[in-house]
Amino acid sequence: MLTSKEIRRIFLEFFQSKGHKIVASAPLVVKNDPTLMFTNAGMNQFKDLFLGNVEIKYPRIANSQKCLRVSGKHNDLEEVGIDTYHHTMFEMLGNWSFGDYFKKEAIEWAWELLTSVYKLPMDRLYVTVFAGDESEGLPYDEEAEGHWRNYIASDRILRGSKKDNFWEMGDTGPCGPCSEIHIDLRSDEERAAKPGGELVNQGHPKVIEIWNLVFMEFNRKADGTLEKLPARHVDTGMGFERLTMALQGKQSNYDTDIFQPLIKKIELITGLSYGSDEKINIAMRVIADHIRAVSFAIADGQLPSNTGAGYVIRRILRRAIRYGYSYLGVRTAFIHTLVDTLADEMGDYYTEIREAAEFVARVIREEEVTFIRTIESGLNRLEEVVQNTPKGQKIAGQKIFELYDTYGFPYDLTSLILRERGLEADEEGFKREMQKQKERSRAATELTTGDWIELQTGGDVFIGYDALESLTSVARFRKVK
């Protein structure tokens, strides 16, 4: 079985052998583009090459790019941990042609790499091509379909709409029709019962997209219209973690050697096992995923903060802390101890993470300590609310909203704690408050709303063990040394 490190190396060597110059990943944090906060695809660092703003030095380039999809046009945050193949940070393997080769070679080499080099079984692969879009006057991609017919049966070539087969970096910028490769990882029985083609792009966890070949031909302007680029380019992106899952015979990215060391470490710390309970599984996946995003963002210079990109990073970290606290039952800071494992696993290729490991761990630890205190203040407040509510009465929606808004308690967590004490939450009232807040903040920017607004607490609040006992049905609490 190939290791993930070998899989990355083979990709780069393959494209090197086809005349590509191998370049380093750009940083996760984008500092010079007002349309983009974080790198969301391999092509970002080449934006000016596509637009024709700078001279093309190397017409063929390949790399493995750190990407982060937690804001803007490409935002997967809410899926992460719930499903097993969307990450916040992931690596995108890419090859580019800047005004050089086009659809024929892009398709030929993608097929050669997947089927002859990596030896993925052809009978599990499907491809999609752009069906065209009348409203924008874009034609169906007959050319790409023609090339695919040299390699794959026509019933495995599907036509997709703009949503899946026209790639755009953001609201503006380079874009174009794309052709994607999907893999069906279901069992033989499942595949016999239903053709995989029907499940492509339907969100099926085992029929997933692995590689996108974009044929860059347009620039989306600020007024929403498309203009032709001065030249035609190729921009491809393959999900490294998904490819590794397929090549290692797994059905979840978290079962690959990319994530297993992190999952194992979390198991060791918590004394819980991955696979034993769906809530525990989700929590472990969230933490294993988010530690990567947060660590690399910090190593690339983006510290958690209360504004802009820093606030996005803080929210990702707090999402991990909340899952650890609520579902794994760890009451003390522990997520920062995963940084060492991450640096050991990824530091050979991404040396920045090894170099910054100590600093990164320190920053994360401080954030953890502060936020755990906030959570505990929230539990304290909830206790007060319970004491002040007459027996037999539901806990007011407005109070539950306050816990959500000020202390970052999701509704589910509050109602769970209440249920365990035989109390009921006023869900309707909570929803009304949420609605009111939405209306209030409609005009506000995306970044000022969010579920993790920090509370300015006045000093330390200690909540005794009893207050936490109520959570024991989802998790046992233990001190971590």
Q: Which residues bind ligand ATP (CB under 6 A)?
A: 41, 69, 76, 86-87, 90, 92, 167, 209-212, 237-239, 241-242
Kindly give the residue spans of alpha helices, DSSP state H, lying in 78-205. 103-111, 142-148, 162-165, 188-193
Q: DSSP string spanning 76-140?
A: -GGGBTTBSS--SEEEEEEEEESSS--HHHHHHHHHIIIIIIS---GGGEEEEEE--BGGGTBPP
Query: Least distance in Å: CB of 212 to Mg ion?
Result: 4
Region from 210-218, 336-344, 353-361, 432-440 binding Mg ion, contact rule CB under 5 A: 210-218
Measured from each CB, the residue nearest to ligand ATP is: 239
Considering only CA atoms, which of 118, 288, 149, 75 is closest in space to residue 211? 118
CB neighbours (10 Å) of residue 73? 13
Amino acid letter, residue 319: R
The 8-class DSSP code of residue 390 comes to P
Query: Least distance in Å: CB of 76 to Mg ion?
Result: 6
CA 249 from centre of chain: 22
- Are the C-beta atoms of 369 and 334 separated by less than 8 Å? no
Query: Least distance in Å: CB of 132 to ligand ATP?
Result: 18
Q: How far apart are CA 371 and CA 377, in angstroms?
A: 10
Measured from each CB, the residue nearest to Mg ion is: 212
Contacting Mg ion within 24-63 (CB under 5 A): none
Region from 120-128, 207-215, 256-264, 363-371 binding Mg ion, contact rule CB under 5 A: 207-215
> Is the CB of 90 or the CB of 151 nearer to ligand ATP?
90
Residue 20 interacts with which of Mg ion, ligand ATP, none, CB < 5 to 8 Å by class: none
Site map for Mg ion, 155-194, x if CB under 5 A? ----------------------------------------
Amino acid letter, residue 334: F
Quick one: which of 71, 212, 219, 256 contacts Mg ion (CB under 5 A)? 212
User: 163: which 2 tokens?
Assistant: 């949503």
Region from 94-102, 204-212, 369-377, 461-469 binding Mg ion, contact rule CB under 5 A: 204-212
> Is the CB of 209 or the CB of 426 nearer to Mg ion?
209
User: 23: which 2 tokens?
Assistant: 């370049």
Rounded to a whole number of angstroms, the distance between the first and last alpha carbons of the chain is: 36
> Is the CB of 243 or the CB of 475 nearer to ligand ATP?
243
- Are the C-beta atoms of 433 and 399 separated by less than 8 Å? no
Residue 210 interacts with which of Mg ion, ligand ATP, none, CB < 5 to 8 Å by class: ligand ATP
> Is the CB of 94 or the CB of 378 nearer to ligand ATP?
94
Q: How far is CA 247 from CA 1, 48, 92, 193, 255, in A?
A: 8, 34, 16, 24, 12
Query: Least distance in Å: CB of 353 to ligand ATP?
Result: 18
Contact residues toward Mg ion (CB under 5 A) are 209, 212
